[in-house]
Amino acid sequence: MGKAPGIGIFDSGIGGLTVAAAIRQALPRERLLYFGDNAHVPYGERTAAEILEFSTAITEALLSQGCRSIVIACNTASSAALGPLRAKFPHVPFVGMEPAVKPAAEQTRTGVVGVLATRATVESKALAHVVERFAHGVEVIQQACTGLAQRIDSGQFDGPELEALLRGWIEPMKARNIDALVLGCTHYPLVRPLIERIAGPGVRVIEPSGAIARRLAQVLEQHGIAAPADVKGSLDCWTSGEPERFTPVLNYLGLGRVEVRQALWRNYGSLELG
Ligand code: DGL
């Protein structure tokens, strides 16, 4: 049995595992290499220059492990780094993320939709661009959820404190009559049950991991790097933080037992996947 060309997937932490899970389900023969930069989370509070520096080093490390394509499973890193990374690595197919404003704008009946995202994403040109392109005649309420990704990354998935924080953002949107709420950060699907409880039955919660997996399938076909029919897929994980933090999330996402290895940032800004 041969080996599939690897697909590198990265995020600032555990959030991108929600995307990895969708890819694993849609493309079970692919060999996935996931890196969570938990040592540097949250990216959403960093500058675009810092995020680009980390994303470049992560891409180099994943390519050196044999990856032939890269999925940026992080809205924040996609907004800050997707364009420059495509320019720097012109032969590598990248799949990036953007908040799912398009399906929300297509589905809304009230004409008002909400977006929850990190501060960096809300302030990015990338989000302004999707709103401009896809939300004609639709009001898009954008909420920067400072501190949310970090709480989730440290293992907080429910509880009164998190609920109060989310209510403070979602209730005002409900008062303005949203009927769709976009999760514009890959960490947020990990608290989807809580978000749905607060948003209520009249608000559709939308996140794009399934669409990303479908897009990746097209990109792999176009570049002739899809896994051959006779191989068995796999998922390998690395983190620059604490490997045991991944366990509850891998279980929650039904990814089963996966070995999570320690990765190290070197002083000169390069990443070593051990
Ligand atoms: N998961 C990330 C995103 O999709 C980033 C969260 C963070 O590190 O701030 O935006």
Decide yes or no: CATH 3.40.50.1860 for domain 6-97+210-273. Answer: yes
- Asked if the model's pLDDT at residue 233 lies above 60, the reply is yes
Residue 31: strand, helix, or coil: strand
**CA pseudo-torsion sign 81, 84, 85, 91:** positive
185 is catalytic: yes
- Answer yes or no: 237 catalytic: no
Mean pLDDT of the chain: 96
Which pLDDT score, from 0 to 100, does residue 269 have? 86
Distance 133 CA to ligand 1 centre (A): 23
Q: Is the CB of 68 under 6 A from ligand 1?
A: no
Residue of 251, 250, 253, 272 lying closest to 263 (CA atoms): 272
Output the pLDDT for position 274. 78
- Digit-coded pLDDT (tens) for 12-26: 999 999 999 999 999
Question: What 3-state DSSP class applies to 203?
Answer: coil
Q: Could you tell me how many residues make up the chain?
A: 274
For residue 1, pLDDT over 60 is answered with: no
* Pocket lining: 37 vs ligand 1, CB cutoff 6 Å: no
CATH topology of domain 101-207: Rossmann fold (3.40.50)
Q: Is residue 268's pLDDT more than 90?
A: no
- Please give the pLDDT value at position 5: 86
**Quick check: bond before 172 cis, omega within 30?**
no
Which of 17, 35, 38, 41, when mutated, tests ligand 1's pocket best, judged by the most ligand atoms within 8 Å of its CB? 41
Q: What percent of the chain has pLDDT over 90?
A: 95
Residue 268, Cβ neighbours under 10 Å: how many? 6
pLDDT of 217 over the 90 cut: yes
Decide if pLDDT at 2 tops 80: no
42 lines ligand 1 (CB under 6 A): yes
Q: How far is CA 199 from CA 113, 146, 149, 188, 209, in A?
A: 12, 19, 19, 14, 20
Å from CA of 15 to ligand 1 middle? 7
Any atom of ligand 1 within 6 Å of the Cβ of 127: no
Measure CA 163 to chain center.
Answer: 22
Indicate whether residue 98 lines ligand 1 (CB < 6 A).
no
Q: How far is the CA of 110 from the centre of ligand 1 (A)?
A: 29
User: Which region holds residue 177: left if phi is over 0, alpha if psi is between -120 and 50, else beta?
Assistant: left
Q: How far apart are CA 47 and CA 51, in angstroms?
A: 6
Average pLDDT, stretch 109-128? Answer: 96
Q: Do domains 6-97+210-273 and 101-207 have the same CATH topology?
A: yes
Of all protein residues, whose CA lies closest to atom 2 belonging to ligand 1? 74
pLDDT tens-digit map of 185-201: 999 999 999 999 999 99
pTM for this model (two decimals): 0.96
- What does the block give as tokens for 33? 């290499």
Q: Percentage of the chain with pLDDT > 70?
A: 99
> pLDDT tens digits for 11-68?
999 999 999 999 999 999 999 999 999 999 999 999 999 999 999 999 999 999 999 9
Per-domain boundaries in the chain? 6-97+210-273, 101-207
What integer pLDDT is reported at residue 4 of this predicted model?
78
44 lines ligand 1 (CB under 6 A): yes
Q: What is the mean pLDDT of residues 98-108?
A: 97
Give the torsion sign (CA, 241, 243, 249, 253).
positive
Q: Of the residues 34, 37, 45, 76, which should be mutated to test ligand 1's pocket, given the most ligand atoms within 8 Å of the CB?
A: 76
Residues forming a β-bridge with 114: 141, 181
